[in-house]
């Protein structure tokens, strides 16, 4: 922590500030310039509330110098984390492709789409059985029946599966079926749920909250890591901005920034970021070029009758063509899909 | 729903759009102008995904015309909701004052502060026993032991109590002690938790999410109302903006807007909104003047040693003076505290 | 400036960083902790681009410790600035009330409204002669003819006047008529215009940009002050947030924050902040309670036929009643109108 | 315009609303559903203030149905605009590459960098002679002397040049030298300057304002087009979000959205969007993949001693390598550089 004193701070005030720092367990280094005095407060206390110092008389500003996350940082682990699930790697040179419907709707639907996913060369099937909906009046998912259908469809096509967990009581049943838990954007700071997911060893993909900073996102990863589960994947899915012509603003700048600060893999989800089918393809291309470690894309063979998010689902043929284009872009930056 | 067609939409496209609307159960009214054709799609479907129409060829824009919330709206109930708990009313002409520490720390602490709350004339004691913390390394609350202490302190001073619930499994134990559940900002869209709170009849105060629109906030209220619990209170506690000189931006404009759209009472929390003691008083004054139905204020007799949020807590004397000032402002707008 | 080094920074990197700091003219204080090394770089260079250090190998973070504004800060001048224009003071204990139409439309209109302003006890007439419009197809104002009419109406009622300047070439003509220049929100960072206004001695009221931080707003004030004009007034008029139920979010938290950081007076404009007549009164009340040094309110005797912003204008009677209410709130916080 | 009435609107209120619409020149189509009545108000009035209707009794919501811009829209002109300057095209299949220093600093510097630009195959030299700076104490540019040096360097390498205009009085002198005017983000809503640029025929590149919506950006383009200058280029350069780990958030989703709504070409500027050298390359790659019609990139041969924005400038060799990578990505999406 660095404490900048006011130009007119009195010696008495400075003494009081130093006493407080010492009492809170910090070692103090003092730098006096002509106009500014700076106190360096040394000692690792990642959860220290810096406002305790900021409100003391004579203090102008206080800066925290240690990132509040530890295990999620590059300082803690300098090599990229590669998560291996069966024969699939997430975080390596080869991009992890995840695709499938928004919601599991029927046996026929999920088998048909799992076929397409396998045909594209993607290795991971996505699909929701428990759906978080902003309206209490909307379709809420098939529940465990959906999980069973999805597992069967994944197995029949030699795919992994990923599905969303919304509350602690669902962890046990979902874990029986899934390879990866997905934590939704609105639950990114559901700390109770994060802790419980930290107690499992099943990989967890944490979607970035709609208005979360990258630091907050990494703090959510820290909750899982700190409870003992090292298998954390991040997923950028668009943030809220003032723009009304798109549903969200796909924050691709987050990808190189996360790669610099953290060793965790980052997946990009252009379907939720844009919300409209015709914008998924350009944003998927851009995500690959920006360095994403994988993509999550929604597809549907009959989007007009999809029970949720049909308008953002790609048709199977469009999806197959897109994957080929993405492969060409990946090659241009010396990666593969 | 109103569908605006493109200037160059063909008759075939228009026919296709109308067929889709009919199939989705809407009745259609067509208005043709020189440049624009507008289709009015009549029929109440609050959860209809308007993107289903937006992606059809020939469509320029689609607007929903029914608010997505029903029971929370003034249309549904035109009189102000007044929630009566024992002899206290929330939502009437008299402002509801809630005060107390951020966290319950000890028997001595909570009894000392409950005394101050009663002395000020406030009727509701606040305090946290289960704490949501952005860092997994921070103090997480006293749990049920804290609830017991708080209930005793409230009873000894003839006060109601309000405390935060963070997850479904806590509802049962907290309900044994509290008069009002508080739902935190980060859980505003924890739909599973909202549903369960809707199954109780204990009043629920929903804090506005950090980046939530007023419509989303009212949708969260709708989740509780739609499940059968009519006792919902809203709480404005600051939103995230670009400003870095304050922790949050206290959105007082939300108060008259909510009063226009909804019949539910709105409490204002200047302590969390500003995060620093010296800004609490001016913002508390402004909240009363803006028409808030009550205030929630954090106080502590020894803020330097508080286990959480000490820097935003008012000292007892400052608080007692402030309540007197607030009373004068309330009188100036013909209300009372 | 404070430079936080990476945990694994090498001695060679540290040497290189220190050489750069020395070369840029800073004096260096080094603090080594067990995990963190901090370099204090002492020396006043308010416009130093800290990224020059941030990109060096071995650097984790860099913080500026001197606010980028000087003359606008409380450090530079600890007493409140009070601007005296004829017998009116802006920034003192008595609130400065500014009122009038959005645009000057005719002699009859401006005289009628100046009468109302005088009747309310307000001392300053507002009105636009050159209008900034987002659409090139909208009414652009009466120009110099409007200024003449406004001056006459102000003089007839013993009022000061304030009117907007949009470009450098208008300064000369507007200065012949006005007592105060208004700089619009969209021009807050029109640095060329700010400089020229700094060359006059006529007071300048700087509206906060729609997405400006308080620091940027004070930097715009600094442009005027640094060029020699000490008569700067700030005006909060709402910021852009995600909310769609209101036009802007009135940032009343900015008022106590500005008062803490700067000696300049702050006016609040609830008319532009809310954009709708029925929200002006509660927000005007809240602004007084929050500590604003004055208000700017739009009024019109025939708002349905106003040439601009009619929907946010108060009718004369509503305005007269409101001023009485505001006076009661001002008295409650020991100020006057 | 579409007017949604309140459920409980009286016949008298409806009559009054219809009278107002008629008086404002609209033709009315009425649709009555069981719960909702909708009035379609037909008639082209792009600058009509919809709040005039919104404040009438009985009105629930009002939606504008005509985009406020005309000449900038795809409805007005369905083919992509291609701007030809000498032998260079902007907006066609081949991407327009613009590169050069932030500021022109000396003859040696600008000639050295123009050489690099030409070597890369780019056709347009960028550089600032008049600099907008947030601090009044920073380097403000070489002025006309800089323009002369830049013109000579461009001519010597058979390049076009683009440079920023900050105020009306600079238009004449800059037009003597430049091929393209650049309008900075902070001037995007400087309507007086936009109008004057509309009176020239020199191409104008309009940078998106830091918090501007796409609609506002296109309205600024409309100002130039409506005054007679059809040669408008748009430039995405990052928007402000809550993120603090990057300077701005590069909004690549804006590229496909603008291409859908407008016929104007869109350039992407990853240097200003990210503000740090090591993030320029991934974002440049992503911009090409997202469909940008060109890029603007800052380069410097000695960034440590650059007079402005050195930390975001690429070194010549890095730039030359990057252009080769970008070319491979362009080929993958069937375009060229």
Q: What is the ipTM of this complex?
A: 0.90
Burial of A215 from C-beta contacts in 10 A (0-12 / 13-18 / 19+): middle
Backbone dihedral angles phi then psi of residue A183, each to the nearest 5 degrees: -110, 125
Please report how many Cα atoms fall inside a 13 Å half-sphere around the Cα of residue B211, on the Cβ side. Answer: 17
DSSP letter at C186 equals: G
Cβ-Cβ pairs closer than 8 A, B with C, add up to 127
Between CA A212 and CA A223, with CA A217 as vertex, the angle to 5 degrees is: 135
Residue A186 CB contacts under 8 Å (≥ 6 apart), including other chains: A132, A209, A210, B189, B190, B191
* Closest CB from D47, D190, D277 relative to C138: D47
pLDDT at D44: 65
Question: Are D188 and D220 in contact, with CB atoms under 8 Å apart?
Answer: yes
Chain A residue closest to B69 (CA)?
A135
The domain over range B83-332 is classified in CATH as 3.40.630.190: no
Give the pLDDT band of residue A166 (cuts 50, 70, 90). very high
Better-scored residue on pLDDT, B27 or D134: B27
DSSP letter at C311 equals: G
pLDDT at A328: 95
Better-scored residue on pLDDT, A310 or B86: B86
Distance CA(D75)–CA(D262), nearest Å, equals 8
What is the bridge-based pairing of β-strands D27-32 and D2-5? unpaired
Average pLDDT over residues D148-174: 96
Task: Tell me which chain B residues have a C-beta less than 8 angstroms from the C-beta of C243.
Answer: 213-214, 251, 253-254
Q: Are B215 and C244 in contact (CB < 8 Å)?
A: yes
pLDDT at B24: 87
Does D318 touch chain A if contact means CB atoms closer than 8 Å?
Answer: no
Which chains neighbour A (Cβ–Cβ under 8 Å, 3 or more pairs)? Answer: B, C, D
* Closest CB from A251, A274, A332 relative to D328: A332
Mutate to test the interface with C, among D22, D135, D227 (most CBs of C within 10 A): D135
Residue position matching structure tokens 């081949």: D94
The first and second tokens of residue D46, run together, are: 């792009």
Chain C residue closest to B213 (CA)?
C243
DSSP letter at A44 equals: -
Does C283 touch chain B if contact means CB atoms closer than 8 Å?
Answer: yes
pLDDT tens by residue, D23-82:
888 888 887 766 678 888 877 676 788 888 888 999 988 888 777 888 999 988 999 999
The first and second tokens of residue A312, run together, are: 């953002």
pLDDT at C49: 85
Average pLDDT over residues D159-172: 95
Distance from CA of B69 to the nearest CA of D (A): 14
Chain A residue closest to C29 (CA)?
A31
Distance CA(B226)–CA(B200), nearest Å, equals 12
pLDDT at D246: 84
Q: Indicate the average pLDDT of chain D.
A: 92
Average pLDDT over residues D234-245: 92
* A 242-281 → D contacts, CB under 8 A: 242-246, 248-257, 260-261, 273-274, 278-279
Does D74 touch chain B if contact means CB atoms closer than 8 Å?
Answer: no
Q: Are C36 and A66 in contact (CB < 8 Å)?
A: yes
Q: Delimit the domains of chain A by residue range.
A: 2-63, 83-332
Spans of chain B below 50 pLDDT: none
pLDDT tens by residue, D251-261:
999 999 999 99
Please, where are the H alpha helices in chain D?
A: 11-23, 51-54, 107-120, 144-156, 171-177, 191-198, 214-226, 254-261, 270-274, 277-290, 316-332
Question: Are D161 and D124 in contact, with CB atoms under 8 Å apart?
Answer: yes
* Closest CB from B167, B187, B277 relative to A168: B167
Which chains neighbour C (Cβ–Cβ under 8 Å, 3 or more pairs)? Answer: A, B, D
Distances (CA, A) of C287 to B293, C322, D232: 18, 13, 42
Q: Given a cut of 70, is residue A46 above it in pLDDT? A: no
Neighbour tally for B23: CB within 10 Å: 10
Of A8-22, B112-126, D317-331, the one with minimum mean pLDDT is A8-22
Average pLDDT over residues A148-155: 98
Q: Are C189 and D46 in contact (CB < 8 Å)?
A: no
Between CA C130 and CA C139, with CA C136 as vertex, the angle to 5 degrees is: 45
Question: Are A146 and A201 in contact, with CB atoms under 8 Å apart?
Answer: no
Question: Are D296 and D269 in contact, with CB atoms under 8 Å apart?
Answer: yes
pLDDT tens by residue, A214-267:
999 999 999 999 999 999 999 999 999 988 888 899 999 999 999 999 999 999
The sign one gets for the Cα dihedral B11, D72, B65, A238 is positive
pLDDT at D46: 66
Residue D187 CB contacts under 8 Å (≥ 6 apart), including other chains: C190, D132, D166, D193
pLDDT tens by residue, B98-107:
999 999 999 9
- Return per-residue pLDDT of chain C as tens, 337 residues: 888 888 889 999 999 999 999 988 888 888 776 667 888 887 767 678 888 898 899 998 888 877 788 899 998 899 999 999 999 999 999 999 999 999 999 999 999 999 999 999 999 999 999 987 767 777 778 999 999 999 999 999 999 999 999 999 999 999 999 999 999 999 999 999 999 999 999 999 999 999 999 999 999 999 999 999 999 999 999 999 988 888 899 999 999 999 999 999 999 999 999 988 889 999 999 999 999 999 999 999 998 888 888 888 999 999 999 999 999 999 999 999 9
Nearest to B125 by CA among B138, B137, B115: B115
Options 3.30.70.1230, 3.30.70.1140, 3.90.1150.10, 2.40.30.10; CATH for B2-63 is 3.30.70.1140
pLDDT tens by residue, A61-109:
888 777 788 899 998 899 999 999 999 999 999 999 999 999 999 999 9
Task: Tell me which chain C residues have a C-beta less than 8 angstroms from the C-beta of D190.
Answer: 167, 186-187, 190
Range D318-324, long-range pairs (CB < 8 A, 24+ positions):
D318/D277, D318/D281, D319/D99, D319/D116, D319/D120, D320/D116, D320/D119, D320/D120, D322/D280, D322/D281, D322/D284, D322/D297, D323/D97, D323/D120, D323/D121, D323/D122
Q: Are C249 and B239 in contact (CB < 8 Å)?
A: yes
* C 206-235 → B contacts, CB under 8 A: 211, 213-215
Q: Indicate the average pLDDT of chain A.
A: 92
Task: Tell me which chain A residues have a C-beta less than 8 angstroms from the C-beta of B132.
Answer: 189, 191
Please, where are the H alpha helices in A47-167?
A: 51-54, 107-120, 144-156
Does A288 touch chain D if contact means CB atoms closer than 8 Å?
Answer: yes
pLDDT at C46: 66
Cβ-Cβ pairs closer than 8 A, A with D, add up to 127
Q: Given a cut of 80, is residue A45 above it in pLDDT? A: no
What percent of chain D is modeled with pLDDT above 70? 98
Whether C2-63 and C83-332 share one fold: the answer is no
Task: Tell me which chain C residues have a C-beta less than 8 angstroms from the C-beta of A35.
Answer: 44, 66
Buried-exposed string A30-64: b where 16+ CB fall within 10 A, e elsewhere: ebebeebbbbbbbbeebebbbbbbebbebbbbbbb
Task: Tell me which chain A residues have a C-beta less than 8 angstroms from the C-beta of C60.
Answer: 65
Does B8 touch chain A if contact means CB atoms closer than 8 Å?
Answer: no
Does B22 touch chain A if contact means CB atoms closer than 8 Å?
Answer: no
Average pLDDT over residues A188-197: 93
Report the DSSP beta bridge partners of residue B320. Answer: none
């Amino acid at each position: 922590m660095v404490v900048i004193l006011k130009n007119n701070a009195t010696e008495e005030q400075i003494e009081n500030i130093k006493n407080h720092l010492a009492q809170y367990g910090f070692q103090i280094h003092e730098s006096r310039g002509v106009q500014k005095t700076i106190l360096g407060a040394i000692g690792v206390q990642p959860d220290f509330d810096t406002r305790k110092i900021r409100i003391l008389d004579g203090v102008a500003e206080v800066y925290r110098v240690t990132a509040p996350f530890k295990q999620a940082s590059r300082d803690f682990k300098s090599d990229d984390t590669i998560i291996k699930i069966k024969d699939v790697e997430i975080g390596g040179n080869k991009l992890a492709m995840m695709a499938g419907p928004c919601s599991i709707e029927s046996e026929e639907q999920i088998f048909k789409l799992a076929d397409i996913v396998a045909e594209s060369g993607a290795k991971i099937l996505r699909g929701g059985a428990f759906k978080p909906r902003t309206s209490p009046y909307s379709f809420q998912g098939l529940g465990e029946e959906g999980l069973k259908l999805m597992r069967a469809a994944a197995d029949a096509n030699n795919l992994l599966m990923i599905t969303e967990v919304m509350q602690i009581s669902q962890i046990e049943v979902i874990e029986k079926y899934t390879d990866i838990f997905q934590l939704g954007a609105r639950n990114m700071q559901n700390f109770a749920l994060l802790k419980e997911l930290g107690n499992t060893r099943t990989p967890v993909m944490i979607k970035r909250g709609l208005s979360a900073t990258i630091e907050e996102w990494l703090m959510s990863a820290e909750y899982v890591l700190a409870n003992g589960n090292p298998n954390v994947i991040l997923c950028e899915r668009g943030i809220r901005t003032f723009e009304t012509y798109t549903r969200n603003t796909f924050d691709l700048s987050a990808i190189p920034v996360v790669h610099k600060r953290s060793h965790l893999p980052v997946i990009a989800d252009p379907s939720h970021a844009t919300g409209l089918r015709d914008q998924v393809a350009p944003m998927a291309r851009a995500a690959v070029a920006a360095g994403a470690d994988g993509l999550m894309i929604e597809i549907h063979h009959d989007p007009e009758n999809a029970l949720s998010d049909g308008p953002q689902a790609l048709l199977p043929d469009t999806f197959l063509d897109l994957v080929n284009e993405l492969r060409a872009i990946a090659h241009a930056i010396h990666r593969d899909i």
